[in-house]
């Protein structure tokens, strides 16, 4: 077994893993980085369909310290996103440190508070800690209905381009961004395009008065004022969702990840995409909706989301409830040192600014851990830091909380002395963790 116990292992070289690597390098924290795929970029390399463009604008998505090229449009394509990430890696010299085709199969804490990592190729290494940036758009969630659909059923994750839609009666399930993009592709390429939604969503056009919608919403406004501003503007620009055959939203704006798509509404108004409520049951190729209507389909695409999961961690190490890791701040383990879960939240706008602002905190945590006897997560728990109550990240709130947590991190050695005075620290038992278990999950 190779011993890298002075280094951390960074798992994943997607958007978040790259931003984290840049911060580690800046702080001079030794690390190795691995990715399951044969190149960097994560989703923007292997996980999105051909026509996708971001819904968050380039300004709200780029790393704050590395702007996207001025030649980019407001909503770059997947290819432009990938080129940007490659450029970012080149600029900060990150690629040299990434091992590709290196899948982490199992990572277990050891009795001397290190991490034993087993790779899919059988290699084992010891690390001081693990930084988990494995993404949250890969563990497919499928819907379940009574009966058995015998047509083609695929998840949006496996959808690549419209060739698969051609000549088919297609139903897309879901009301999120992927569902709408794929329904729009179906409107152009399929024999019939239908969409089924369990409830109503807030659909927003990609831009309003010439400004990307995510920038139109002034982030410094309180959320209640953002909601009023948006509701008034949406009523003027779009009108009532019911006039498109859609259901009225059953939640307030921002309580779910917003759906930003200008073309769905366009095709609904042209009758090219047909809206449906939830599915009641399916049998053969027939789908019955809850309004009693029945339709036949050749292909159903379930754009029904993903589970947040960490299949290389032993069962019981981290519980995930409603897609939220049940650990302090969703990042730190209350019993084990050296494990950091990063980037599992769904940000309302783009991912870059939060990574740029949040990754220095992670580095500060790693450095402060050396000054602590106990895991930083144990101290965080003691001072009342809980798991977040939502998997959605409000960018402004997150940025403010980073400033607060920077102070808390600096104070951790003092807080440890204060709260654990005269208490002996016994490292946690690691007996319960199965070192043999290995998952056969496919990551992309
Ligand atoms: C259709 C679609 C549209 C999107 N639109 C936007 C948008 O408009 N704006 C936006 O900000 N975001 C958008 N996203 C979200 C997108 O996922 C993020 O922008 C970003 O890619 C997240 O980066 P990440 O590093 O967390 O995850 P990923 O990009 O998924 O990267 C994770 C990496 O970890 C690696 N990995 C996983 N497990 C292991 C393992 N066991 N061993 C080794 N390596 C492993 C994977 O190979 C992967 O390269 C979209 C996503 C999808 C699917």
For the chain, which residues make up each domain, given as ranges? 2-139+307-443, 143-303
> In 3-state terms, what secondary structure has residue 329?
helix
Q: Identify the band that residue 217 occupies on the pLDDT scale cut at 50, 70 and 90.
A: confident
Report whether pLDDT(441) > 70.
no
**What is the 135 CA–ligand 1 centroid distance (Å)?**
5
**What is the 40 CA–ligand 1 centroid distance (Å)?**
10
- Which amino acid residue places its CA nearest to atom 48 of ligand 1? 42
- Which amino acid residue places its CA nearest to atom 27 of ligand 1? 135
Report whether pLDDT(383) > 90.
yes
User: Pocket of ligand 1, candidates 17, 43, 107: which has the most ligand atoms within 8 Å of its Cβ, to mutate?
Assistant: 43
Q: Identify the band that residue 33 occupies on the pLDDT scale cut at 50, 70 and 90.
A: very high
**What is the 56 CA–ligand 1 centroid distance (Å)?**
14
Torsion over CA: 131, 133, 136, 138 (sign): negative
* pLDDT: which is higher, 190 or 443: 190
Report whether pLDDT(320) > 90.
yes
* pLDDT tens-digit readout, 284-301: 999 999 999 999 999 999
Q: Identify the band that residue 221 occupies on the pLDDT scale cut at 50, 70 and 90.
A: confident
Rounded-to-integer distance, Cα 396 and Cα 374, Å: 31
The domains spanning 2-139+307-443 and 143-303 adopt the same CATH topology: yes
Mean pLDDT of 438-443: 61
End-to-end Cα distance, the chain: 28
Q: Identify the band that residue 88 occupies on the pLDDT scale cut at 50, 70 and 90.
A: very high
The topology under which CATH files domain 143-303 is FAD/NAD(P)-binding domain (3.50.50)
User: Pocket of ligand 1, candidates 9, 10, 11, 15: which has the most ligand atoms within 8 Å of its Cβ, to mutate?
Assistant: 15
Lowest mean pLDDT among 92-106, 129-143, 213-227: 213-227
What does CATH list as the number for 2-139+307-443? 3.50.50.60
Position 126 scores a pLDDT of 98
Report whether pLDDT(240) > 80.
yes
204-222 burial, b if ≥16 CB within 10 A, otherwise e? Answer: bbbbbeeebbbbbbebeee
Cβ(213) – ligand 1 distance below 6 Å: no
Mean pLDDT of 334-355: 94
Report whether pLDDT(439) > 70.
no
> In 3-state terms, what secondary structure has residue 344?
coil
Position 257 scores a pLDDT of 86
Position 150 scores a pLDDT of 98
Cβ(43) – ligand 1 distance below 6 Å: yes
């Amino acid at each position: 077994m190779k011993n890298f116990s002075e280094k951390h292992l960074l798992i994943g070289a997607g958007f978040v893993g790259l931003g984290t690597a840049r911060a580690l390098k800046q702080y001079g924290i030794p690390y190795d980085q691995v990715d399951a795929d044969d190149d960097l970029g994560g989703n923007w390399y292997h996980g999105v369909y051909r026509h996708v463009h971001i819904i968050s604008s380039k300004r709200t998505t780029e790393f704050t310290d590395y702007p996207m090229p001025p030649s980019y449009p407001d909503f770059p394509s997947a290819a432009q996103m990938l080129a940007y990430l490659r450029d970012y890696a080149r600029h900060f010299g990150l690629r040299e440190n990434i091992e590709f085709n290196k899948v982490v199969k199992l990572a277990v804490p050891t009795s001397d508070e290190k991490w034993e990592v087993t790779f899919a190729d059988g290699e084992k290494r010891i690390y001081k800690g693990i930084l988990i940036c494995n993404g949250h758009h890969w563990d497919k969630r499928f819907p379940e209905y009574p009966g058995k659909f015998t047509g083609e059923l695929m998840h949006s994750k496996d959808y690549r381009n419209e060739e698969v839609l051609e000549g088919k009666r297609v139903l897309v399930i879901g009301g999120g961004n992927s569902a709408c993009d794929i329904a729009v592709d179906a409107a152009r390429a399929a024999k019939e395009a239908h969409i089924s939604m369990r409830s109503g969503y807030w659909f927003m056009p990609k831009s309003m008065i010439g400004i990307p919608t995510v920038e139109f919403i002034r982030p410094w406004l309180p959320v209640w004022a953002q909601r009023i501003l948006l509701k008034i503007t949406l009523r003027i620009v779009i009108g009532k969702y019911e006039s498109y055959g859609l259901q009225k939203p059953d939640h307030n704006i921002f309580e779910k990840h917003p759906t930003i798509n200008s073309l769905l509404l366009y095709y609904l108004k042209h009758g090219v995409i047909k809206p449906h409520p939830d599915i009641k049951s399916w049998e053969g190729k027939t789908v019955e909706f809850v309004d009693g209507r029945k339709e036949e389909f050749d292909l159903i695409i379930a754009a029904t989301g993903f589970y947040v999961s960490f299949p290389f961690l032993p069962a019981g190490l981290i519980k995930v409830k409603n897609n939220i890791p049940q650990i302090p701040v969703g990042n730190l383990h209350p019993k084990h040192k050296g494990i950091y879960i990063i980037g599992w939240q769904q940000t309302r706008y783009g991912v870059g600014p939060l990574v740029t602002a949040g990754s220095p905190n992670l580095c500060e945590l790693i450095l402060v851990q050396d000054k602590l006897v106990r895991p930083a997560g144990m101290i965080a728990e003691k001072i009342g830091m809980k798991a977040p109550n939502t998997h959605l990240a409000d960018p402004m709130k997150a940025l403010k909380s980073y400033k607060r947590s920077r102070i808390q991190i600096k104070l951790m050695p003092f807080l440890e002395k204060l709260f654990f005075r005269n208490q002996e620290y016994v490292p946690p038992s690691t007996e319960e963790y199965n070192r043999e278990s290995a998952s056969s999950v496919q990551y992309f």
